[in-house]
Amino acid sequence: MTTAEQPPAPRKKTGRRPGGADTRRTVLEAARAEFAARGYEKASMRAIGRAAGVDAALLHHYFGSKDRLFMAALEFPVQPKAAVAQLLAGDRAVLGERVAEFVLTLWEQPGVLDRLMALVRAAATTEQVARLMREFVQEELVARIAAELEVEQPELRAELMFSQIVGLAMARYVIGVEPLASATRAELVPLLAPTFQGYLGGA
């Protein structure tokens, strides 16, 4: 990855094309590092461009604005549509367990927790990010889940499930209360599964 210390590299035959998928990935990696290190408000588009070795014009061409770059950089490591479909496709009697397993496994993937924490921190301190997150959650998660539930108040129930997931991340990783912070997935799933199952209507 190109870093701020290197001079603009001569183009290698096998190197990335300007504007190609490699550049996009490099920019997103630089953006994640900058947002994680400095937070949303203090993060600088200029610093991200410098770290990625691309100029400001290209950065704006790709991502338009800081808020759009932020959401792109912290995008879910899974496609919400595919993940929701997969979770809801299986046996509904153990849906709560499947959600608990999915979330805890996801957080153990490299880099996922950093993105999640950067997002939660930014949403907690910056109304602009809170709004983006609100729209994302409502459109990409809640609406999709609610459409598949045969219960009353499906949106409210999907959002209570979301609230438990956010709170679990806060308590386990941000505040870090013990023994929750060190509890294993195997210990947590049996306790969380009935909560999710209940919110989803025992579906």
Q: Which residues bind a copy of itself (CB under 8 A)?
A: 39, 120-121, 123-125, 130, 133-134, 137-138, 142, 153, 155-157, 159-160, 162-168, 170-172, 174-180, 183, 187-188, 191-192, 194-195, 198-199
Contact (CB, 8 A) for 2 and 53: yes
The smaller minimum CB distance to a copy of itself, of residues 3 and 153, is found at 153
- Report the candidate in 118, 19, 44 with the shortest Cα–Cα distance to residue 76: 118
The smaller minimum CB distance to a copy of itself, of residues 80 and 198, is found at 198
The smaller minimum CB distance to a copy of itself, of residues 58 and 120, is found at 120
Percent helix, strand and coil across the chain, each to the nearest 5:
75, 0, 25
The minimum distance between CB 120 and a copy of itself, in angstroms, equals 6
Query: What angle, rounded to 10 degrees, do the helices at 95-107 and 80-89 form?
Result: 140
- List, in sequence order, every beta strand (DSSP E) within 75-169: none
The smaller minimum CB distance to a copy of itself, of residues 3 and 44, is found at 44
| E strand or H helix that includes residue 182 | none
Rg (CA), the chain: 19
The minimum distance between CB 44 and a copy of itself, in angstroms, equals 18
The minimum distance between CB 194 and a copy of itself, in angstroms, equals 5
